[in-house]
Structure 1
Amino acid sequence: MRRHDPDVTVSESPTNILYVGNSGVLCGVQWEELEAVFEPYGPIVDICVFPTGRPYSFVKFESVEKAREAFDALHGTHPSQVAKADVVFYLAFITNMPRSTASTDQEMPPGLKVMEEFVSENEQQKLLDVVATCSNGESKGSLKNRRVFHFGFEFLYGSNTVNLDGPFPPPFPPICEALIDRMCQAQLVKHRPDQLTINVYEPGHGIPSHVDTHSAFEDEIVSLSLSSDVVMNFRECSVSGRSVAVRLPARSLTIMKGESRYAWEHCIASRNYDCDPASSRLIRRSQRVSFTFRKVRRAPCECEFPQLCDRNRDDNVKKLPSSDTEARGLEKTFVANVYEEIAAHFDETRYSQWRAVKTFLDELASGSALLDVGCGNGKYLNEDIRLLKVGCDMSANLCLIASAKGACVAQADGLHLPFRDGAFDALISIAVIHHMSTVERRLVAIGEMLRMLRPGGTALITVWAFEQKMNNEQSEYLKWGRNRESLVDRPEDDASAYPSGALLVHLNNTAFQQQDLLVPWHRKAPTDGASLANPQSDRFLRFYHVFKRGELEDLCAKIPHCRLIST
């Protein structure tokens, strides 16, 4: 229990709060079943459940005596009110309830609006009749987990765009045209939709986390939910990764525009129940139907989020450099300039030492001279007075930060290090050369590092790995993303939909789909509570070349007098 919820402490004496093991959504126990199990033992103050990832719940009684009665009667039993036969409750007294799962105080993503009861019960039935007619006709389609129907234009799931060349699906049903008229009259949309996708979701089915393609559609994405409530999860496309759960009631209209449309991913988890973000009560899903209306974009996207924009156009998409001059320009824009801008935030978030690096440093002989190439904020240059440490970095602001901490640093280009040959006994370069955009520049960088070493000197060089799984185990990078969101797998980008050599924007904490990519960084708001004057200007993209297994070894093998000790 402590491992799952560190804020919860077991009490050695009875309290009025019970931990209930083997309960909650993960174990197939409904909120209503928990209420029915514990209500006979006295007034209940609160029941806390979790939508995913936690096989336990909490029940708070008005008095210790009532909680003790429930404990004595239910500990180690299968309550008759629980439908699932193999569930046995294990109880414990705890000192405090965990942090509330309710999110009514969370701000909605900017630009997101949910309008409840947008259609009447009668209109809902007419719309469901449209789905029934489609299911009996020839226009139906299917995906792995759901039935889909297209109107106006066909939506292409491989590239998340539309087919502008035909064949064209049927026009909108009359009832949908009437709904669009209502949206336009109420000024809910600026562009009259001309593409409609109907999805039929069975209980347990969801949608992967995604952002509707910028370049394919105009600003507003409008979705009508029918037949069943559902909770949609929104996550900001940034390092902060702020998440907000939003309940979409049946017959409600959801409008995404502006920031919520372009800079937030949205998804629906694959499960049979949802947890109401306002009350923490479980919501049993039934078959749900969504009508999603979009306006096909006919001109280049002009959104205020260019760093996150996925324009599928040769003149807008960033590409791999074809010359050293282009490589220098790309690295200046997407590496050097970015780190100058984010230096202070980088320093706040990069303070712990990696275990492998610390082990390498601890094994160096006392009095060794160490060079840290790409030292960043100097986190490896302080402490350990056994070593003579020198650092260098391209970023002037990072050098100032490291120097203020007492480190000996110099601003320098890793391809032209300003030190004499063989000046150091050891060298580290942690997560640096993957920012170089060509094989030739990465090779020069490694050669420069090895030039710094005396004969017999050792270097530790690390890079991001393309393969994020080994022996069926996920890397810490993927685990971090999974723990932050616990929702569903994200879709793979279809790189074939982009021009050859295009640098796609990577979704944080997902498997890499290509080796050369742009990784977002979001600089947090000021700590004094002031809002950013222009939040879009604090979103940045960094170039990365993620290394496949054996690639770094192959580069090192091309350097004369270089011998690999371990990989």
Structure 2
Amino acid sequence: MSQEEAKQNLEDIEKSNQVQNNIQQKDGEQQIQDGKQLSPEEELKLREKKAKKALNAKIYDLQKKLSRGIQVISQTEGKTPEELFSFKEATSNLFVLHFGIGEEVDYVTVKDYVNSVAGTHKLTVFPGLGYGYIQFDDVKKAEQTINSLERFEQIENCHYKEMTYEKKTRPTLFLYAHCKLTDICQNKNNDFPEASRKVDAPGLLFQEEFITQDYEKLIMEEIDKKEWNRLAKRKVQHYGYEFLYGINSINKDNKKDPIPDFLNNLMQTISKEVIKGEQPELDQLTINDYYPGDGIAPHFDTHSPFEEKIVIVSLNSGIVMSFKSYKNEEKHLFLPPRSILVLSGEVRYAWFHSIASRKVDKVEGDFNFRRRRVSLTFRTVQFKPCRCAYPFFCEDQGYDPVTMKKNNPLLPRDYHAKDDSTKVVAPKSEEEQKILDEVQQVITDGKPTNLEQKYVYEVYEKIAPHFSHTRYNPWPKIESFLKGLEPGSLVADIGCGNGKYLDCHNGDIYMIGTDRSENLISLARNRGEEIQVFSADCLKLPWVSSKFDNAISIAVIHHFSTPELRIHAINEILRILKVGGEALIYVWAFEQTEKSFSEQDVFVPWNLQNKYEDEKVVKGEIKPNTDIQINEAKQSVVYKRYYHVFKKGELEELISRIPNCKINDSYYDHANWVVKIEKTSE
């Protein structure tokens, strides 16, 4: 059955059903008359007609669901029904149309049924989609499942079972699969790594069932009696010392309430079995409240505020925590409820850890659907400088991204020689060098060149939806800057993109965002009615001078091709500020660890996934104005973005040429060099 045949079949069924309904309605009107007592023969005929009508309705409903299901799967996967389904012979794999949204109830209901009729199998559901995929060891189990189902001879390839999903019953259809699981859903929400219940990482200790279920229940009840503090995306409680987000530290001079008594037994066990006198006793606790879909960005706890061992206890629900080393080693560990995780040594000081923002995890071939999770993170406050064995990550021992690559003993000697296209930005081609040489001959006069137009403006306009999809979490230090501003401050976000910083403050400042890309501005507007944005060029801001208290410019200045244009853009920021106003500016760092550069003026590729691209561009039938390449392996169209990556001290030197400002602070953050500049005069 082709996709067109499935669609035509669906239309024919709907027409036929409408005709049948009209006939049956007239039949009923002729046989039932007001006030007339029907004979037994007439009642029997009426019941038969009703039964036939119900049967026809059932057949119609199943035909419609089957045809529509085949059509939806084909459209979603971008394959023909013949590529996806085996209509003529049995296979060891099945598609299941559960018509839900791929949540826990769909998974459990289908899995329990298949277990009951065929035994061992692997079920994969796809979050947000109404179908799944079942894998068996052999064809016989798949046949056993199909043979257990109901069917109508009138409907070809229709095998179904009425299943109850919580309180709702709906027919669930099964079809033999012609394709493998690896052939489908590669770019969907289910494309995430599989975790283990045991991983090997230096300094990581882990134990399941560290506390009993009864003690877990008591802790949860007592925690919920306490007052929660609300952050942008979750709730927290702090004890001993308050954790300061944004700078990932604590206020050592401001002690808070002590760790609650109901945790005494847990603390004693941790002290005896984990701390073992190797550091002072735990005296700081952060309790985090996570709901399905919540996560935390990759980070490692800063060195100076805390002693070495950090202890995490998970309650109520399991979750996957991911670990990544500087050598790009990745580990994914499932933390079940009542488990304890201890971070020490290398994994504490030199590995990033994170929790992905999703509602389901894959764990050793099975699915774990997240529920509310509460984590207890215990630390010991450190009152002396950190002298750990990992100075290349240690702020107390001269951490500097410039030298980190050279001095990091974790890296193999040939690390930088590896051709890793995700990290290494290739040197310019002769054509690209010619473009840059031509730009240097142009007198810009505060206006963008053809390079900015072609390799910045047009590219971001094109990749906006995909780009926005990858930019959702505010960086802590930028969020901290905004939350620390005076109430009532008027703040400009220049180059606001999809607007992720426009709503991450305390709600007592007023922000207006601008961006050169109309498509990014449209995405920013979708964040809510309170978001104030419009399209503008940061080289010529449409605001009168000296009106804003503060401004931020995140990842914008590095897109200009000449020093004159970079200075002009910074001057525009200063022009709109009041005297005494402060601006926060971020630019990409040449010395960053996320990517490796051999030169400062580079063209960085953006792999625009095919689903975001015009089909005619993917097929090469039309070409956009800017340079592109088709990457068939990654199923993407590659666009080039121009960057001037700044070396250490270069941004400060550039600002030193501007007379009416001073630098209040400069530092490195998230692969960027950062400055805070203050306007000192008009």
TM-score tier after normalising by the smaller chain length: 0.5 to 0.7
Could you list the per-position Cα deviations for residues 261-305 of structure 1 after superposition, in whole angstroms to 9, with x for gaps in the alignment? 233333334444x335124134452x3322110122333334444
Change (3 A) 1:233 1:30: farther
What SS does structure 1 have at the residue aligned with 2:285?
A: strand
The separation in 2 between residues aligned to 1:77 and 1:209, in whole angstroms, is: 44
Corresponding residue for 1:275?
361
Which amino acid in 2 is paired with 1:233? M
The separation in 1 between residues aligned to 2:334 and 2:405, in whole angstroms, is: 39
The counterpart of 2:132, out of the listed 41, 57, 60, is 57
Which amino acid in 2 is paired with 1:201? Y
Is the 8 Å Cα contact of residues 197 and 363 (structure 2) preserved in structure 1?
no
What SS does structure 2 have at the residue aligned with 1:81?
A: strand
Computed over aligned residues only, the root mean square deviation of the Cα atoms, in angstroms, reads 5.3
Corresponding residue for 1:118?
210
The separation in 2 between residues aligned to 1:57 and 1:514, in whole angstroms, is: 44
Is the 8 Å Cα contact of residues 224 and 254 (structure 1) preserved in structure 2?
yes
Could you list the per-position Cα deviations for residues 353-402 of structure 1 after superposition, in whole angstroms to 9, with x for gaps in the alignment? 99xxxxxxxxxxxxxxxxxxx848xxx6xxxxxxxx8xxxxxxxxxxxxx
Could you list the per-position Cα deviations for residues 163-212 of structure 1 after superposition, in whole angstroms to 9, with x for gaps in the alignment? 2232x211122343443332232244632222111223344444344322
Corresponding residue for 1:514?
586
1:66 paired with 2:57, answer no
Corresponding residue for 2:550?
none
What SS does structure 2 have at the residue aligned with 1:124?
A: helix
Which amino acid in 1 is paired with 2:464? E
The separation in 2 between residues aligned to 1:547 and 1:350, in whole angstroms, is: 13
Change (3 A) 1:56 1:275: farther
Change (3 A) 1:344 1:234: closer
The counterpart of 1:224, out of the listed 307, 310, 313, is 313
Following superposition, the deviation at residue 51 of structure 1 comes to 7.2
The separation in 1 between residues aligned to 2:480 and 2:599, in whole angstroms, is: 20
Which amino acid in 1 is paired with 2:477? D
1:162 paired with 2:234, answer no
The separation in 1 between residues aligned to 2:272 and 2:351, in whole angstroms, is: 27
Is the 8 Å Cα contact of residues 241 and 252 (structure 2) preserved in structure 1?
yes
Q: Which runs of 5+ in 2 are unaligned?
A: 1-72, 152-156, 184-191, 443-449, 482-499, 501-553, 556-584, 605-640, 645-682
The counterpart of 1:300, out of the listed 379, 385, 393, is 385
What SS does structure 2 have at the residue aligned with 1:59?
A: strand
1:251 paired with 2:314, answer no
What SS does structure 2 have at the residue aligned with 1:176?
A: helix
The separation in 1 between residues aligned to 2:331 and 2:101, in whole angstroms, is: 19
What SS does structure 1 have at the residue aligned with 2:90?
A: coil
Corresponding residue for 2:505?
none
Change (3 A) 1:165 1:465: farther
Give the 5 Å matches for 1:135-534.
Answer: 135=227, 140-166=228-254, 168-188=255-275, 190-191=278-279, 192-226=281-315, 228-238=316-326, 240=328, 242-272=329-359, 274-283=360-369, 285=371, 287-309=372-394, 311=395, 316=398, 318=400, 346-350=417-421, 375=427, 428=433, 470=461, 473-474=464-465, 489-494=472-477, 514-517=586-589, 518-520=591-593
The separation in 1 between residues aligned to 2:331 and 2:423, in whole angstroms, is: 28
The separation in 1 between residues aligned to 2:109 and 2:337, in whole angstroms, is: 23
The separation in 1 between residues aligned to 2:308 and 2:457, in whole angstroms, is: 34
The separation in 2 between residues aligned to 1:298 and 1:466, in whole angstroms, is: 49
Change (3 A) 1:169 1:543: farther
Which amino acid in 2 is paired with 1:127? I
Corresponding residue for 2:109?
33
The separation in 1 between residues aligned to 2:271 and 2:78, in whole angstroms, is: 47
Which amino acid in 1 is paired with 2:235? R
Is the 8 Å Cα contact of residues 100 and 130 (structure 2) preserved in structure 1?
yes
Following superposition, the deviation at residue 18 of structure 1 comes to 0.8
Following superposition, the deviation at residue 24 of structure 1 comes to 8.5
Is the 8 Å Cα contact of residues 516 and 546 (structure 1) preserved in structure 2?
no
The TM-score with structure 2 as length reference comes to 0.47
**Percent identical across equivalent pairs?**
23
1:128 paired with 2:203, answer no
Is the 8 Å Cα contact of residues 50 and 280 (structure 1) preserved in structure 2?
no
Following superposition, the deviation at residue 34 of structure 1 comes to 1.5
The separation in 1 between residues aligned to 2:149 and 2:303, in whole angstroms, is: 55
Aligned residue pair count: 403
- Which structure has the higher relative contact order (CA within 8 Å, separation 6+)? 1
Corresponding residue for 2:121?
46
The separation in 2 between residues aligned to 1:225 and 1:72, in whole angstroms, is: 44
The separation in 2 between residues aligned to 1:463 and 1:165, in whole angstroms, is: 53
Change (3 A) 1:54 1:200: same
The separation in 1 between residues aligned to 2:347 and 2:287, in whole angstroms, is: 21
Change (3 A) 1:53 1:316: farther
Change (3 A) 1:215 1:349: same
What SS does structure 1 have at the residue aligned with 2:347?
A: helix
Which amino acid in 2 is paired with 1:296? V
What SS does structure 2 have at the residue aligned with 1:150?
A: strand
Corresponding residue for 2:628?
none
1:109 paired with 2:201, answer yes
Corresponding residue for 1:94?
178
What SS does structure 2 have at the residue aligned with 1:260?
A: helix
Following superposition, the deviation at residue 80 of structure 1 comes to 2.5
Which amino acid in 1 is paired with 2:211? V
What SS does structure 1 have at the residue aligned with 2:332?
A: strand
Corresponding residue for 2:91?
15
